[in-house]
Chains A and B, each alone.
Chain A
Amino acid sequence: MIDAPYVAPVSSLAGSSPIPFRGAGFLPADSPKPMLSWIATMLVLCIWQIASLLGWVSPTFLPGPIAILSALGDLAISGKLWTDVSASLVRILVGWSLGTLAGLIIGISLALFAVARSIGVPLISALFPVPKIALLPLFIIWLGIGEGSKIFTLALAAFFPTAISTYTSIDSVPRNTIRMAQSFGVPIKSIIARVLIPGALPGIFSGMRISTALTLIVLVAAEMIGANEGIGAFVILSGTLMRSDQLLAGVVVLSILGLLIGTGISALDRAFLKWR
């Protein structure tokens, strides 16, 4: 038995050279710095505000943050904000829900049935890249200038990413888990409901992130083309009147709406995907 390991005493480093530290990968080593983020944001806003106070940029060209906030406040008090926001919310809620529902149904059918796949996949692949807003004029001819044509366009914008993400994520559920279920005699209906769909859920949720972002874009564009109420209509009207402060107040509302939708999906994610 050897008592001591064969390591030379530290006194004999003569003639050796230390091995340098060469890095530990590119992952951020430091903890995130939330204070820094806040300071940077405030700094940008301050510089912006000072620039507009000193008259470096004309208020029509780019109003300062305080002017935008006060425009937002005025809109909230006059009630104009709520009519526009609620009109937009109804459109996006109804349109997105219909499109998502149809996308889920079609996506599941594509994943499960070879016939549906042969017919559907080339069709969907061909139509997916078409900017849906380009079809709004056609839908206006079909359905009139009212809510129907806008909601239909929104539904279409939500439909494609949902159908494709549902189909591909069901398709990529590991075959082994399906074989496992079959080897225990689990009926096909349970395999769909308890293996395929839960396994596809993470992919379906990332599809929803895309579809909500797309519907928001299409919503604004559709409201700019032909609507009396709605945030998009408000933004384009403000532009025509050269009211940049109101215009940007509308943009702020849109960005808040986008953030809220993103947070909502993250909450869904957390609630349903605890197991990850």
Chain B
Amino acid sequence: MELIIDVRNHFYGTLLALSGIQLTVSSGGVVAIIGPSGCGKSTLLGIVGGLLKPTDGLVSSRGTVPDGCLNPLTYVFQDFSLLPWMTVSQNISFVLDHHSLSTVEQQRRVADVIKQMDLSDFAHAFPRQLSGGMRQRVGIARALVVRPAVLLMDEPFSALDAQTRDLMIQDFLDLWVRERITTLYVTHNIDEAVRLADQVVVLSRRPGRIKAVVPIEIPQQRRQEIEFAPNLSRLRDELWSLIRDEAITANREFAHD
């Protein structure tokens, strides 16, 4: 599924948060949105998934959804947003319960994603018993169980330590290579963006505007290879120089949140 994003203006009270965001996320692609903190990245993602109403703007979708898709636009949250009183498998089936799936079909779907995300040993554990990485695996499993057309990932790995994050990114990449789910990925981490995205959208500090769109032509599976290292390194430098000044200025402004 393809997304056409056109957010002309979005205000928080009297404060202009986003302006002139026109963006197409093509089917099967990964678009990363980076920018300094407070630039409205997460706000934009909230608007795209229908959790925030844009002051002036419209987000549309085009194309088909996968077989058995129950929730075309599906989030993976930074804080995982698991329900602490439900076990891993209850957290996952929670998002299916209101759909009229047969018990067998529902159980099969839950079992499938639990297996896919390597959670089999933890199906009956409560979230507090899991590490951060395992919690986000549950978050991703919950997103996959509805067979989404688009994944909206809001800094999904930024609450994890560096090693765990690295492993999770690799796992997510393997998953994406298999399934090619259209993904909109918000992050403040340039490395993450450069490993995952076909296109990196750089937002300016508030009000967030599109400052640059940087395509990355190297296929994701091959980005760890040594021959591409110089290219990717140059890309990282380019992206860093694009947000550096914005980040410095943004850092010195008063926080409004």
- Please give the residue numbers on chain A whose beta carbons come within 8 Å of chain B beta carbons, in ascending order: 176-177, 179-187, 190, 194-195, 198-199, 201, 273-276
Contacts and interface: CB of A to CB of B under 8 A. Distances in A.
Interface stretch (B19-27, B91-99, B233-241): B91-99
B98 A182 contact: no
Contact of B75 (A183, A186, A276): A183
A184 B81 contact: no
Given A184-B74, A186-B95, A190-B97, A179 B84 contact: no
Interface string B213-242: 000000000000000000000000000000
Contact of B98 (A179, A186, A195, A273): A186
> Secondary structure at chain A's binding surface: helix, strand, loop or mixed?
helix
B128 A275 contact: yes
List the 4 closest A-B pairs by CB distance, nearest first: A180-B81, A184-B95, A275-B85, A198-B85
Contacts of B95: 181, 184, 186
Interface of B: 49-51, 70-71, 73-75, 77, 79, 81, 83-86, 94-95, 97-98, 126-128, 142, 146
B84 A182 contact: no
A198 B98 contact: no
Contacts of B70: 185
A81 B245 CA distance: 81
A177 B77 CA distance: 10
B126 A275 contact: yes
Contact of A183 (B49, B86, B94): B49
Contacts of B50: 183
A187 B86 CA distance: 18
Given A183-B49, A184-B146, A190 B126 contact: no
B45 to A, nearest CB: 11
A177 B81 contact: yes
A179 B83 CA distance: 12
- The listed residue with most A CB atoms (<10 A of its CB), out of B49, B71, B83, B126, is B83
A183 B48 CA distance: 11
A122 B98 CA distance: 37
